[in-house]
A = this chain, B = another copy of it.
Amino acid sequence: MQTNLEVKKTLVFRDKEYKCGIEVTLAVIGGKWKAAILYHLAQQTMRFSELQRYFTNTTRKMLTQQLRELERDGLVHREVYPQVPPKVEYWLTDEGRSIKPILDLMCEWGVGHAEK
How many chain A residues touch the partner (CB < 8 A)?
A: 48
Closest to A27 in B: B110
How often does this chain occur in the complex, in copies?
Answer: 2
Closest to A3 in B: B43
Chain A residues touching B, majority SS: helix
Which residue from B21, B24, B107, B112 sits with its C-beta under 8 Å from A22?
A: B107
A23-B35, A73-B113 known; 10 other A-B pairs, CB under 8 Å?
A3-B43, A5-B54, A11-B110, A20-B110, A22-B107, A23-B36, A26-B30, A26-B110, A95-B116, A102-B102
- Cα(A73)–Cα(B114), bound, Å: 10
A19 at the interface (CB under 8 A from B): yes
